[in-house]
Amino acid sequence: MRAPRTLRALPSPSTCLLRTSHQRPQFRYQQQSSRFVHMDHSGHNGRRGHQPGKRPFSTGKGGKRKQEQGEPFHRRLGRALRSTKIRWYPIPAALGIGFLGLAQLYKINEREKKARREEEGEPYRRKRIRPTGPWQVQVMSTLPLKAMSRLWGRFNELVIPYYLRVPGFKLYSWIFGVNLSEVSEPDLHAYPNLAAFFSRTLRPGVRPLDPNPSALLSPADGRVLSFGLIDGGEVEQVKGMTYSLDALLGTSHPSSAPNLSSPSHLFARETPAHHHQHVESEALVKRDEEFAILNGIRYTLPGLLSGAPSSPHPPPTDASTPSLPPSEEEVTDSLAVPWYNPPRRTALYYCVIYLAPGDYHRFHSPTAWVAEKRRHFAGELYSVSPYLQRTLPGLFTLNERVALLGRWRHGFFSMTPVGATNVGSIVINFDAELRTNSLLSDKAADKSPNGYAEATYGAASRVLHGRALGRGEEMGGFRLGSTVVLVFEAPEGEMGEKEGWDGEGQWRKGGWNWGVRNGQRVKVGEALGWVDEKV
């Protein structure tokens, strides 16, 4: 006898359809709708008119999704916020109290440090400059360029496997145009890393010096970006874009503006004897003090060379090393002026030379001169590529640089190696105390009220009171391509006509004459210009 069948669940009459087959009906309970739905053996809803292979009509999630896509975003956002359940998680009271205590302790500590600095007269740390310009400049200003340059320096010091040195250095030379025939060490296996290859030396005789003793030589291999006469303390970075000479070099007496009418006394301290000269050039100094605004920062000639005019400056350190006897003898003879030498009117000139990554990275003395002091400016490390020089005003006054100040036979002379991205390391051969792009050494320059740390070379020579540098003598180098800026005083001369003159430029009788043009490639030892000594 067969047991009677029991129905597991009784469907509601409104949701159950009549069954036309003799098969056992199956029902599935849906929790969301709380109702029973009849299911056939094919797994589809047992609705009337259903055909296999076609999706039955439904007003479920698919229809709601299509309906939601047509709604505005704010309605969907509001519905999502209303339907989302907010859950609160308890925070331990001890953790909250501890956080508030640490925050209050930090504020008290900073307030005490500020009061201590004000009492001791200690200056604040230099704030990072955020220049304005195109989006490329804005993006670059947000990057930690100095930290990236330090990391790149560490990468350059990694030892390259022996079997990869030759193909690696040849690939680099092919990309950047390095002339391997000029390298003093032809065996590329001798360079253990990229840093050693960047600071490579050249074979003797491949950079001959110009025979004209009155010529000013190129200090490095590179391209002449700009040159000319300094007018009103403004140096042309590229065509149509200038910066202040003060912001580049600094002044020895920040409380007084430079006397541009007498370049020989550009860095001399003001005395009562020279007071009338400052009065006569008051209009000229006023124009320099109101120099153009560079990226929202006011740069004047004292600001470029020595920063704020009213801030006290710590005494300079002594970084003197003995001069080489041949160089000292050469410089002494060059600076010797006969008693019958008539005074000549002088002017300030400048020249900017850009070193590409494939160029010879060491720089040499362009003439016989005396370096009296060094100023290390702890600035930024923006790229000094020609594109950025055209885009970013005052680039050389923003970047880290080492200004070497001194004199040559015609008056003031300065040579400034400028750092760049991945080129923060500037080496001066006769200055062992100099450390550029360093976390420790930059603190003195960063905290200086004038933005630089100064050192003197007065003890290097008892006669010259500075470091004697002979013509073509190696002075230092970069770790990768950068820029060298020359600012010097030379006789102004008079306009004249010279037999056989090709007509390019202006020849000045008894004065300074340029021998290069913008964009010209120059090498160490080639003449940038000369002083016409035949008066």
> For 516-532, what is each residue's pLDDT tens digit?
998 899 999 999 999 88
Q: What is the pLDDT of residue 140?
A: 62
More confident residue, 454 or 306: 454
Q: What is the pLDDT of residue 415?
A: 92
Whether the per-residue pLDDT at 52 is higher than 90: the answer is no
What b/e string do you get for 415-429 counting C-beta neighbours within 10 Å, with b at 16 or more? bbbbbbbbbbbbbbe
Least confident of 35-49, 159-173, 279-293, 376-390: 279-293
Whether the per-residue pLDDT at 253 is higher than 80: the answer is no
Least confident of 105-109, 263-267, 327-331: 263-267
Least confident of 33-47, 180-194, 293-307, 398-412: 293-307
Whether the per-residue pLDDT at 533 is higher than 50: the answer is yes
N residues, the chain:
535
Kindly indicate the confidence band of residue 443, based on its pLDDT and cuts at 50, 70 and 90. low
Please give the helix or strand (H or E) that residue 61 lies within, else none: helix 61-69
Structure tokens at 465: 């009171």
Whether the per-residue pLDDT at 233 is higher than 50: the answer is yes
Q: What is the pLDDT of residue 522?
A: 94
Kindly indicate the confidence band of residue 461, based on its pLDDT and cuts at 50, 70 and 90. confident
Secondary structure (3-state) at 460 = helix
Q: Return contacts of 16-20, CB within 8 angstroms, 24+ apart.
A: 17/46, 17/47, 17/48, 19/46
Whether the per-residue pLDDT at 431 is higher than 80: the answer is yes
More confident residue, 199 or 248: 199
Most confident of 133-137, 148-152, 163-167: 163-167
User: Global pTM?
Assistant: 0.60
Kindly indicate the confidence band of residue 481, based on its pLDDT and cuts at 50, 70 and 90. low
CA–CA gap between residue 377 and residue 249 (Å, rounded): 9
CA–CA gap between residue 102 and residue 108 (Å, rounded): 10
**Amino acid identity at 192:** P
* pLDDT tens string 369-405: 999 988 887 766 555 555 555 555 455 456 678 889 9
- Nearest residue to 379 (alpha-carbon basis) of 112, 146, 102, 107: 146
Whether the per-residue pLDDT at 22 is higher than 50: the answer is no
Contact between residue 266 and residue 278 where contact means Cβ atoms under 8 Å apart: no
More confident residue, 62 or 351: 351
Whether the per-residue pLDDT at 469 is higher than 50: the answer is yes
Whether the per-residue pLDDT at 348 is higher than 80: the answer is yes
Kindly indicate the confidence band of residue 446, based on its pLDDT and cuts at 50, 70 and 90. low
Kindly indicate the confidence band of residue 5, based on its pLDDT and cuts at 50, 70 and 90. low
Q: What is the pLDDT of residue 299?
A: 40
CA–CA gap between residue 461 and residue 30 (Å, rounded): 100
Kindly indicate the confidence band of residue 218, based on its pLDDT and cuts at 50, 70 and 90. very high
Q: What is the pLDDT of residue 524?
A: 93
Torsion of CA 71, 73, 75, 79, to 10 degrees: 110
Helices (H), 177-239: 194-198
Determine the average pLDDT of the residues in 21-44: 48
Q: What is the pLDDT of residue 208?
A: 93
Q: What is the pLDDT of residue 209?
A: 93
Instruction: Report, in angstroms and rounded to the nearest whole number, the Rg of the chain calculated over CA atoms.
Output: 38
Whether the per-residue pLDDT at 49 is higher than 80: the answer is no
List CB contacts of 174: < 8 A, sequence separation 6 or more: none
Q: How far is CA 433 from the centre of its chain?
A: 22
Whether the per-residue pLDDT at 282 is higher than 80: the answer is no
User: Which positions are annotated as active-site residues?
Assistant: 221, 364, 482
Summary mean pLDDT of the chain: 69
List CB contacts of 532: < 8 A, sequence separation 6 or more: 214, 493, 507, 508, 509, 510, 511, 512, 513
More confident residue, 150 or 324: 324
Q: What is the pLDDT of residue 128?
A: 55
Q: What is the pLDDT of residue 68?
A: 60
* 175-to-169, 221, 357, 385, 441 alpha-carbon distances in Å: 10, 17, 10, 17, 34
Determine the average pLDDT of the residues in 491-506: 56
What are the structural domain ranges in the chain? Answer: 11-16+25-45, 135-198, 215-531
Kindly indicate the confidence band of residue 169, based on its pLDDT and cuts at 50, 70 and 90. very high
CA–CA gap between residue 186 and residue 206 (Å, rounded): 14
